[in-house]
Structure 1
Amino acid sequence: MADASSFLRRLYERLRDWRRERLAWPDVRRRLIADAALARAGAARASAATAEWFARPLLPQHPTAPRWHMLLRVTTISLAALLILLLGSIVYFAFEIPIGGGTASDAAGALTVTAADGTTLAVRGTAQGEQLDYDDISPNLRKAIVAVEDRRFFSHGAVDLHGMLRALLHDVRGGHAQGASTITQQLARLMLLSNERTARRKIQEALVAVWLEHHLTKQQILARYLDTAYFGAGAYGADAAAERYFGTSARTLTLPQAAMIAGLVRAPSQLAPVKNLDGARARAGVVLHAMVETGAITKAEGDAAVAHPADLKVAPDLPPGPGYVADAAQADIKTLVGGAAQDLTAGTTIDEHLQAAAEAAIRTHLDGEGAKKHATQAALVAIGPNGAILAMVGGRDYAASPFNRATQAQRQPGSLFKLFVYLAALKGGMTPETIVDDAPLTIGTGPNAWQPTDYEGRYEGRMPLSLAFAKSVNTVAARLGQKVGIDTVIKTARDLGVASPLPNVPSLALGTANVNLMEMTRAYATVASDEETLDPYLIQRITSHGKLMFNRPPHYGEAGEPSQAKLAMRELLQDVVSEGTGRGARLAVPVGGKTGTTQDFRDAWFIGSTPDVTIGVWVGNDDNSPMDGVTGGDIPVKIWRDVAVAAQSMPGHKAHRKPRVAATATATAPAARAPDLGEAIGGALGDAARGVIAGLTPKGDADPDADPQGTLSGKAEVVDTATLGLGGQQVRLQGVAPMGGRAARELARYLRRREVDCTPAAGGSYRCSVDGDDLATTILSNGGAEATQDAPADLAAAQETAQEQGLGIWRGRR
């Protein structure tokens, strides 16, 4: 490089001198040719000198020196050169070690989402587990990992030359390739290096391993290895694997469990038990055989462990259905405990059986009738009486579309929005019997004039408010909106939890604003509940390795006496199901709800409440294209009914009870509240409860010496919980203490339009039945009133049932 610079400098100086001499180009060219000839001659002389230098012998020639002496000197110099090269390479590779690299995970941790009964619904993220010391790790796991990964771990250094030679000979003989990396080398790779198979990485691995052996004990190295290794299914570290697969800590692993976990290190993705349980068990057998060979366990212990392999806590290949629940749980967790990097278990309020029923109902009806009517999507939310979310489905297939239509999709609710219009009117002094007019209506003038029309295109004239709501008459809703004021309607919706933007326009009364299913279901659940406000919640508790991070207080919202407007609204909702557009939702228990259908059949809704649960269903298409005649009383009601029936009949959810999650939270409330007989009594009439009631109902217990007034039948008026007006006279229920107020009103709501049959009993009292179920038993078994001191044994037993379950007046008093 220096010669080239010198040449260029001299050339520049020559050209500058020639320019000063004003030489013509032919003269310049001749001088350049002459200089080039001189340059070639000099280069030839230099090349000859260089060739002569390279031709000289490496060592001086001494005719008298022995030949072996010269070979020794050559060998010595060569070895020194190789040693210098090796040391230089080692120094270079050492400086090239990627500090902060490695294959160990640095993710934020795993999230395990469980149902209310503890069943795992979904697992997200990368589990880190708890970092354990050597003495904290199960001896079974320590022995298993050493036996299968590095038998001479406690006797060799950082690198096991004996093991490397054994592996090399095994490969030469044609056996399966064996690894020769020690546990220390594996830890080095996990901490700092990659999995690339190169000489450079192996040298770096050995260097780091030597450093680790120099600074840590064998026990510390083994503990760090078990805390860092990947064991499949997103579990980094033995403790995370123990929790992921067996629901326990690495401290307490049994021998079969330890053998399975130790066997995963070589191929964690292929052998993860949630995907390949048979392969994981076969590999565990190999580990147990190695433990027997090394003397870690006896042959009898190994045979017993093989005969009784480890069972998983979670079922293999969790279904993707609860993915919507897992997404919602993740979002709530960030609000409740922040986003710190840690493994979390979120205990939700989801009922596993109800969730499965909801997913199945959506899939069945969309694949069947939905395919014929161009209905491709649906969403569902189920909320318990205290706000607990019992089921949530955001679409027909989470794997195909994780977009949650229950919480994220904004769609027009149609007539479903009339709840707020009618509730505002009831609060303003109207009653279900108030006469309203279904007649042509024009709101506004000129180009802004609006004329609402009904679905059937005809007008029916004057009718009671209850009938207008049941038939979903648009002109009446529009008139009511103008009478109470759209701003009042908006306030009513806000009070019930609707947060979406609501424009102050006349058409809002017919549901032209966009809302989501969750907030509408919340509003209907609030009307069905005795809570002043109902805030739906999904997370019950959050833990991290057994440490409680969050626990929801046992009671949310303020229970109180429902207003007359709220009670009247419940009656209107029941009328929709009994004689209106929601007739397909009728069950053996009281049901109140409302349908909703938007223009051109783009959206179809049904939200209905039973004593146990409020369920909201939306059906439509993501591209907002019209369906083929699907109304709220069509596919949405059918989906709703399937799920409502499942809620009544599933284990742990007898129809006369509130859902287990809701009952638990309410039972621990600080103070008892008056019973909701509409919920309690209505629930008792489900199929699951009929057997209970039948077992408590007396057979032929009528008193033959009773007042001979005979059997009374008909529609009953409620005086109090123990007294009915029937056939122009008062009937006293046997064994039931009188209660007035709300309890009596709820009993009246339950008996509305029902036939009551009463048979004379002892002491001038009666035993009455409704739809074949003994009324006194129904009231007492659901905590609707107290039993009298002289109540028959079967009625006293019914009261004990309510007391044990904390129902009605016994709620919070157990």
Structure 2
Amino acid sequence: MTTQSGRDWLDLASPKPEAAAPPAPSRLSIAQREVSDRLARARSGAARAGRAALSPVLAAAAVPMRRVAPAWQGAAARWSDRLGAHPLTARAADAARRASALPWGRALGLAALGTAGLAVLFLAWCAATLPPLSGPALTTRTVAVQAEDGTPIARRGTARGRSLPAEAVSPAMRAAFLAAQDPWFDDTYRLDAAGVAAVIGQAFRDTISDGPRTGSPRLTQRLVRRDLIGAAPGEARSLADRVREAMLVLRLQAGEDRTRILARALDLARFGPGLTGLDAAAHALFGKEAAALGTAEAAYLAALTRAPALQPDRDVTAVRALARDVLDGMVMRGDLSAARAAEAGRTLDGLAPVGTTPLTRSGVPDLVLAEAADRLGPEAPRDAVIRTTLERDLQAMAEAAVERRLEAAGRGGARASLLILGPDGSVRAAVAGGAPLRDTPEARRAGSASLRHLGRDGRPVYDRVVAGPAPAAERRTALLALLAGLARPPEGADDPASRDGVFVGTIGDLLVGTIVSSNAAENGAGDGPEALFQDVAVQWAKAHPAPPAPEARETARETGSTARSSARPAWQNPGERTAPSLTGVPRVIDTGRLRLEGQAVRLVGVEGQGGSYAREFRQYLRRREVTCQPAGGPDLYRCRAGEQDLSEVVLFNGGGRAAPGAPQELQAAEANAKARKAGMWQ
């Protein structure tokens, strides 16, 4: 290319240098070009055919889009302008530019990616370690608690029932279980985005909501949290347990219907310590198949699932109170009419599991078992036997005496408790009129003293040599503490009666304590605690007759008679003993008898009355100090509160009758009450 003189631009007309000729194409390149041309023509034909087929559809879809597009584009433009003009948008864009220019911006991105990866790994680990839907494996174990002669008195341990389909369970049991666990189980529930979020939120809460609008997942959530994962109520749960709970609830809700979820919940529910599954509970507690359970029995079992820590044959009163709430829930759900619920409630008043006795309700076997658990070791045996100091015959006497005392009181809310301790502080007999014994230091010592023999899988583990007698003051203190525990009102009692009196006495080398509720005295039982003690003492004396005196044995040998002599020993002082005076705040037995300084006192010249007169007399003497002087008899006293003669006060107010031979001033007080028609003379 050349440039002519006098010009400053290129001479385009000048001849161009000849370009080098391109190399001749090879055969391989010609074949590749032909293949590519054919493929291009095939793709073009397919594209034309596809456009021809989709053009009607796209045209139809484009019609509404054309209508909406202008408005949408306008709205988008307006919002874009607003966001672009906002100061925060400019600041955010500037911060993003600066962050992208800094090295740590990339580090933050990598950290976010690493955190996301760890979260995925954590979720995968939780999914891989989910507990099986069949529940934890349980080994059947049996612990037999025996009396001193080897008679079984209680049975504890663990048992797992068979899996039952929902059709093999009585309708009453299914309804009672739902009333106890999830009354809104039949509500509609959708596992959509909101439902999944609700399940996850509930899994991260420490309590499960009892209100409506929760639907089916509540029963599923309790099944997973309590029976599959094994989290106790109020127990701290880890993050992994919460995630596993959400996974299992979603899995069950998505993969199983409600009937199957209900059957699984019944198979894994706990019906008391160590008793898992409805099949095991029905056989162990009522000796029945699950299909034969009645309404009251179903309510009792369903109540146990609400408080699995309750012992079925010990906490009977508390379980009955919960069972009444279950009956109310069945009525609310429409599974039971009010009339049938009332009938089931009456049946429930006398219902108790098989093997329930006053001794099991006292809680003594469980105290001995708790003491023996330390000696059994951390690994529970398959079979264990615990021998105690409880005397079967003495226990039968105590139960019969309490029953007679309650019959005498008319059972109008009366309660009676009795406890007998041996010389070493061991429990020989116990009857609970209120709640069972709590695990207190005194109860632990009594349980330890009551343990005689412990066997584990056929091998003896512990044999206790009978200890020496405990100090009298220590044994009396322990008895009063235990007796107060036996007499406290049970949980769920509608109107617990207050204790009226305590009596402590000895029968041979046994220390006996009794408590009778105040209603017993009001219903005509009189001095209930002392009468209960005397009843047991008489029965014990008949079963353990005293050996005859030496003089009587000699007379029996000479005459052939077996009668016992009641002659006074020669060394006994024939003179009368002067009774000491007594001072203190008394307890009213009736209007003619007080208990002062642990001694029964009869008011001179008064035949006392109980009931309302005794209550009024108790109110009159409320926290007042009384001084009593002996009046001739072994328990006859002349008592005064300040300057008032209590015998005269009782007779003047018509609270009793004048005894035969009463002094003239007391007869005059009775005549005055009759004239005024006061008290019992109305």
**By the TM > 0.5 criterion, same fold?**
no
TM-score by length of 1: 0.31
**Rg larger in structure:** 2
